[in-house]
A and B are shown apart, each in its own frame.
Chain A
Amino acid sequence: MQETKKKSKLGFLIKLIIFIVLIISITNTTYVVKENEYAYVTRFSKFIKIQDTAGLHFKLPLLDKIETIPQYRMMYDIPPSEVLTGDKKTLVVDNFAVWQIDDPYTFMRTVSRITEMENRIDAVVYNAVKNTLGTMDQTTIINSDNRSIDDVNTKITEMVNVQLKNYGVSTVAVEIKRLDLPNDNESAVYNRMISERTQMAESFRAEGNLEASKVVNETDKEVGILLSKASATAEELKGEGESEYMKIIAEAYSTEDRVDYYEFIRSLEALKVTMKGEKTLILPADNYIVKILNGK
């Protein structure tokens, strides 16, 4: 009974050891490559191969060393830097780069660390930006139709990629995220904006006055024309009235007899009017009435 107990205890220990060894050997002979990784395999620090297919892979235990390198695209937000434009003006340029490792072998041999690579990207991008914007005027850079800023981005990306090829790295794109004037220029811009607006406000006011007075003047002119036309018409009408009057009268006194009669009654009427009041009249001796008085 004790014999079997001892035996089974020993058997168990053996099993346990075998099991542990098995586990260790499994974990040491296999490695997992994820979908977005490269595995860089070295044996005694000597490069063996790059494993870029995801899944379970085998290696020699203890001898092989695996390093994982990102296969995915990485975003690097490059700190803003000042750049001199072609017309010697300063601009603050803020870039970002989205980059990836194309050739992990070259990458591991040249740079091997992501942060170190970012430093290099920083330098390369700065140079590309400086060279590209350095040939352009500030106005052209800022007042771009949106096509041309794309061209600038493309140009920078191409220049950067030529440089980065040495590291087995490429950028999907380098883009200008922000493009600002340096801080001390900004207040000048603000002042200019204010003066521009003040001038616009003034010109609006002046325009208002001008247009208003134009309307008033035009109105006054129309009024003048209207009234003068009306009075011309009125005078004409009055003249017509007079002429009609004369015509009608003239027609009525068409014969000599009528004229004679007219003159006679008209004289009588005139007499009546002029002889009103305290008047003195001297009649000649041969006057009709005097004759009657004289009994002739």
Chain B
Amino acid sequence: MNFRNLITNLFRIIKKPNDFQDFQNQNFDNYQNEKKSPSKPGRLKFLLIIPVLFVAASIIISCQYTVEETEQAVVTTLGKVTSVESAGLHFKLPYPIQAVTKVAVNKTQKLQIGYSSENESVSYSSTSIADEAKMITGDFNIVNIDFFIEWKISDPVKFLYNSDEPAQILKMIAQSSARSIIGSKDVDGVLTTEKSIIQAEIKEKIVTKLENYDLGVQMLDVKIQDSEPPTQEVIQAFKEVETAKQEKETRINEALAYKNKTLPAAESNADKLVREAESYKESKINEAKGDVARFNAMYTEYAKNKDITRTRMYLETIEEILPNVKVYIDSSQGGVQKLLPIESFNTTTTNGGEN
């Protein structure tokens, strides 16, 4: 019977897909037979071939798979891992005998902690994002730290079978590591100077822990995205400190400017004083030299004829001064005073008072 043939052939395909060719041939034979004795069931059989072909084709398609350049495929045969395939076209036995799980081994993956970019849907974690970010520093300050870790799958088999949610475990480890590192730093280090050291230490810590967990993942990088104090008020207070630091610098610079302006001015004043004194000294010496030279010259002349010169000079001086001066001659002898005014020779001699 046509129906019977169909079913048995179908079963054969399920058991052994390679028999598909036989099945087709057989069908063809049957078809030929039917043609020889055309009947109603013949048309029915023809209609049934279409779904059978469809099923057969889908089974064949399910036997081949492609692995991308960035992936590796883990092949399991009846639940047991039998091979790991790299990029290319591969064949397998149909389900449920063999199954393939593709794992993106070469892809760098990113886990965000303390924040979420718009694309990321939901945080798996039970704690909110704000809580994730909040950490206590070693000096009892609270800071919000957003960071991300980059990782990739290093061992696809371990990644698939060693744990249920490796990425989630990794995230937990990252949080735990970050917390313990931040707890060993003080707030200023965390917010400013020690960021890169902290990143390196967190990474190192995660790497060490991962050895124990054996998740088949590899840590690539830890980056602190943002670290800031928790509330606006506190942020304001931290900014205030920065402003004060700047103010301090400004004050010191102003003082230095004063110093730089005042010192040279004072030096120039001091220099002026010294130079003036030097000038005074030199001029005094020169004055002395001049006086001496003049004196020497005069003295040489004087020495030639002392008395005459002396008298001449005396008289010259007298000539010069007497015209303007009232002269009295004191001719007193004994206790009697007699003054002779030279000025008024035209008048009678009178006794004049002393001037």
Contact = CB atoms under 8 A, between A and B. Distances in A.
Contacts of B173: 175
B205 interface: yes
A190 B232 CA distance: 10
B142 A189 contact: yes
B136 interface: yes
B314 A55 contact: no
Tell me the interface secondary structure of chain A in the complex: helix
Interface string B203-225: 00100010011010000000000
Contact of A216 (B163, B255, B273): B255
B241 A201 contact: yes
Nearest to A141: B183
B280 interface: yes
Interface string A61-85: 0000000001011110101100000
A135 interface: no
A77 B314 CA distance: 128
B288 A248 contact: yes
Interface of A: 5, 8-9, 12, 15-16, 19, 32-37, 53-56, 70, 72-75, 77, 79-80, 94, 96, 98, 139, 142-146, 149-150, 153, 172-173, 175-181, 186, 189-190, 192-194, 197-198, 200-202, 204-205, 207-209, 211-216, 218-220, 222-223, 226-227, 229-231, 233-238, 240-242, 244-249, 251-253, 257-258, 261-262, 264-265, 268, 271-272, 275-285, 287-290, 293
B118 interface: no
Interface stretch (B42-50, B53-61, B316-324): B316-324
B126 A79 contact: yes
Contacts of B96: 32
Nearest to B96: A32
Contacts of B331: 285
B164 A75 contact: yes
B273 A230 contact: yes
14 contacts: A16-B7, A35-B160, A53-B80, A73-B163, A149-B184, A150-B180, A178-B127, A201-B241, A230-B273, A241-B284, A248-B292, A252-B295, A282-B339, A283-B329
A134 B295 CA distance: 110
B325 A281 contact: yes
A229 B162 CA distance: 86
Interface stretch (B23-31, B62-70, B147-155, B262-270): B262-270
Contacts of B138: 142-144
Interface stretch (B83-91, B103-111, B243-251): B243-251
Nearest to A94: B127
Contacts of A238: 277, 280-281, 284
B281 A240 contact: yes
B231 to A, nearest CB: 6
Given A219-B263, A233-B277, A237-B280, 6 more contacts: A55-B79, A179-B179, A209-B251, A262-B295, A268-B314, A284-B329
Contacts of B320: 272
Contacts of B289: 248
A227 B263 CA distance: 10
A228 B317 CA distance: 48
A194 to B, nearest CB: 4
B255 A213 contact: yes
Given A179-B183, A268-B317, A193 B4 contact: no
Interface in B311-355: 313-314, 317-318, 320-322, 324-333, 339, 342, 354-355
A215 B329 contact: no
A202 B285 contact: no
What 3 pairs across the A-B complex have the smallest Cβ distances? A208-B248, A230-B270, A241-B281
Nearest to B3: A12
B19 interface: no
B238 A197 contact: yes
B276 interface: yes
A205 B160 CA distance: 59
A172 B212 CA distance: 7
A70 to B, nearest CB: 7
Contact of B299 (A146, A180, A258, A280): A258
A214 B259 CA distance: 11
Contacts of A289: 318
B76 A35 contact: yes
